[in-house]
Amino acid sequence: MSKDYLAEYDAAAEGDKYPLVQNWMKTEPLPFFKQLREQRSVLVTPECTLLALFVDIRDALQMPKIFTVDLYKPKMGVTDTSPGYLMAHDDDPLHYREKSIMQGMLNRDDIPRVRKIIKDAAQEILGKADGDIEIVNNYCRMVPAIMVQEYFGLDGINRKNLIRWSFWNQYNTFHNQPFNLNSKEKYDEIINEHAKASKELVDYIAVLMVRKLLTVKIKDRLFAMARKVINLVRIIFKKKPIEFKDDIVKRMLRSTFAEQVDFSLARIGTNAGGLLIGSVEPTSTAVAQVIQFFLERPELLAEAKAASAQEDTDKIDAMVWEALRYVPISPYMFRQLSQDYTIAKGTDRETTIPAGTNVLTLTQSAMFDPYCYQDPDEFKTDRNWYHNFNYGFASHDCLGKYVGMAMIPEMVRQVLLRTDIHATSAMDYKDGPFPGEYQLAWK
Ligand code: HEM
């Protein structure tokens, strides 16, 4: 008989209820979420309210002014004098403007180039490793850091710094909230490390902006005439014209915005920092967990290895996305209510959630809801992508999702292509929310 989570929950003392929920979300999310969906899909705990059904989660995430990201504000530089980062804004002019500008900058036509950067970096690291590697630090974090340098343009800095800055920003924003129940010491340590990392990042971005601005405004112009002449000759000889070296930071600086667009140099800098913070740690978590998922399931591993060997990557891509349903980077996204809101009106689960409540939208549960997917408990690669929450949903959906959709499967693929790939240690989370160490070996 399956475990009765709700009976245990109801019998627990008030102060033990949410810690129980937190533990189940971490250690046995799927059976716990299944019982919630079937018996108590809106779970009101003393700490926060959980939504478990696809339709309620979709509803909530589509109302950013009511289900707000206010909990991001103190983590993302929002103060009385600074607007901070776009992610901490709900459906306002700044979010609307900067998200769309940045979507244009991350031109989706670049994706084949991004995938090649990832493939080359992955092959180089694994080739040099010569049969064994601690994969989290040397690969899962390192490959996206290389992408951040080569494609986003945050170069001229030791990659270990980029990795550390992303780590503490992600930790403080997503895993240092009231419902994480961190001890006072832990909470303070994360706040301090985040403050230190943010200061270093801001200082670095300031120098980067000046350096890149000099390149695009002076060097580019000085060489513009020479380049025209060289390209004329190349065209005559039917050779591809040479282009200025491009990356996203340079692309932002080369673009001209009318004053009324309100996208200043300072905003370019803030958005450059956001590209780094968003990319390294989530990619690392996803890649490490998916590799572990396959290595622990021999039948799927054989299928994934065969798919990795194909030149056409559609199959391995689909397998990786399906795997992430089981091991997402987080089982939920959180929001804070700006006003009272009655969810699921007219149903027997109708619940009024008061203003100020923190809500966990259990997006992993939504991806196992039969409303969303047929045979949700089975591993299938032909799922409807529109019901996948791994990159968020609605107005806050992930800015980097098309980069991630190429980067994560390619990184997994390159590892699975190694002969007799296997783990030689358990995955170690180092008492934190992200994979911290995982030893792999191959022939
Ligand atoms: C590749 C580089 C990445 C960049 C530059 C990036 C950047 C961002 C940004 C800026 C947002 C906020 C968008 C908004 O508020 O409108 C966001 C949201 C999100 N990203 Fe990414 N991200 C990246 C990779 C990833 C990866 C690999 C994952 C997970 C597999 C991920 C998962 C998410 C999720 C779940 C959200 C929604 C958060 C929410 O709604 O509260 N991202 N990302």
pLDDT digits (tens, 9 = 90+) for 69-110: 999 999 999 999 999 999 999 999 999 999 999 999 999 999
Rounded to an integer, what distance in angstroms lies between the CA atom of residue 158 and that of residue 149?
A: 10
Which 8-state DSSP code applies to residue 371? T
Give pLDDT, residue 425.
98
Give pLDDT, residue 1.
59
405 has a pLDDT exceeding 80: yes
Confidence of residue 20 (pLDDT cuts 50, 70, 90): very high
- Residue 324 alpha carbon, nearest atom of ligand 1: 30
**Listed residue (271, 275, 251) closest to 148, CA to CA:** 275
- Residue 99 alpha carbon, nearest atom of ligand 1: 16
68 within domain boundaries: yes
Confidence of residue 244 (pLDDT cuts 50, 70, 90): confident
State the virtual CA torsion across 225, 228, 234, 238 in degrees, nearest 10.
Answer: 180
282 lines ligand 1 (CB under 6 A): yes
5 within domain boundaries: no
Other C-beta atoms lying within 10 Å of the C-beta of residue 134: 17
122 has a pLDDT exceeding 70: yes
Distance 256 CA to ligand 1 centre (A): 26
What's the predicted TM-score (pTM) here?
0.96
359-375: pLDDT as tens digits:
999 999 999 999 999 99
For the chain, the domain total comes to 1
392 lines ligand 1 (CB under 6 A): yes
For range 192-200, the mean pLDDT:
98
Query: Ligand 1, atom 2: nearest CA belongs to which residue?
Result: 279
Distance 380 CA to ligand 1 centre (A): 24
CB 121 within 8 A of CB 429: no
Which residue type sits at 251? Answer: R
400 lines ligand 1 (CB under 6 A): yes
Rounded to an integer, what distance in angstroms lies between the CA atom of residue 18 and that of residue 183?
A: 15
Confidence of residue 229 (pLDDT cuts 50, 70, 90): confident
26 within domain boundaries: no
Rounded to an integer, what distance in angstroms lies between the CA atom of residue 434 and that of residue 428?
A: 9
Query: Ligand 1, atom 16: nearest CA belongs to which residue?
Result: 396
Distance 401 CA to ligand 1 centre (A): 7
Give pLDDT, residue 272.
98
Domain of residue 317 covers 41-441
396 lines ligand 1 (CB under 6 A): yes
Q: Which of 87, 165, 398 to mutate to test the pocket of ligand 1 (most atoms within 8 A of CB)?
A: 398
Pairing of strands 358-361, 49-51: parallel
CA atoms within 13 A of residue 132's CA, in its CB half-sphere: 6
All residues at 6 or more sequence positions from 424 whose CB lies less than 8 Å from its CB, including other chains: 132, 439, 440, 441
The CATH number of residue 332's host domain is 1.10.630.10
390 lines ligand 1 (CB under 6 A): yes
All residues at 6 or more sequence positions from 432 whose CB lies less than 8 Å from its CB, including other chains: 171, 175
12 within domain boundaries: no
CB 132 within 8 A of CB 424: yes
Distance 397 CA to ligand 1 centre (A): 6
Query: Ligand 1, atom 10: nearest CA belongs to which residue?
Result: 399
348 within domain boundaries: yes
64 lines ligand 1 (CB under 6 A): no
State the average pLDDT for the chain.
Answer: 97
227 has a pLDDT exceeding 90: no
All residues at 6 or more sequence positions from 185 whose CB lies less than 8 Å from its CB, including other chains: none
CB 147 within 8 A of CB 407: yes
Confidence of residue 432 (pLDDT cuts 50, 70, 90): very high
342 within domain boundaries: yes
90 within domain boundaries: yes
427 has a pLDDT exceeding 70: yes
Residues forming a β-bridge with 341: 353
296 has a pLDDT exceeding 90: yes
CA atoms within 13 A of residue 268's CA, in its CB half-sphere: 24
Query: Ligand 1, atom 14: nearest CA belongs to which residue?
Result: 396
35 within domain boundaries: no
All residues at 6 or more sequence positions from 314 whose CB lies less than 8 Å from its CB, including other chains: none
For range 122-128, the mean pLDDT:
98
Give pLDDT, residue 245.
86
299-314: pLDDT as tens digits:
999 999 999 999 999 9
Q: Which of 399, 402, 434 to mutate to test the pocket of ligand 1 (most atoms within 8 A of CB)?
A: 399
258-293: pLDDT as tens digits:
999 999 999 999 999 999 999 999 999 999 999 999
3-state secondary structure (DSSP) of residue 51: strand
Greater pLDDT, 219 or 374: 374
Confidence of residue 423 (pLDDT cuts 50, 70, 90): very high
Q: Which two tokens stand for residue 145?
A: 């850091």
Q: Which two tokens stand for residue 91?
A: 């459906």
Query: Ligand 1, atom 32: nearest CA belongs to which residue?
Result: 391
For range 128-151, the mean pLDDT:
97
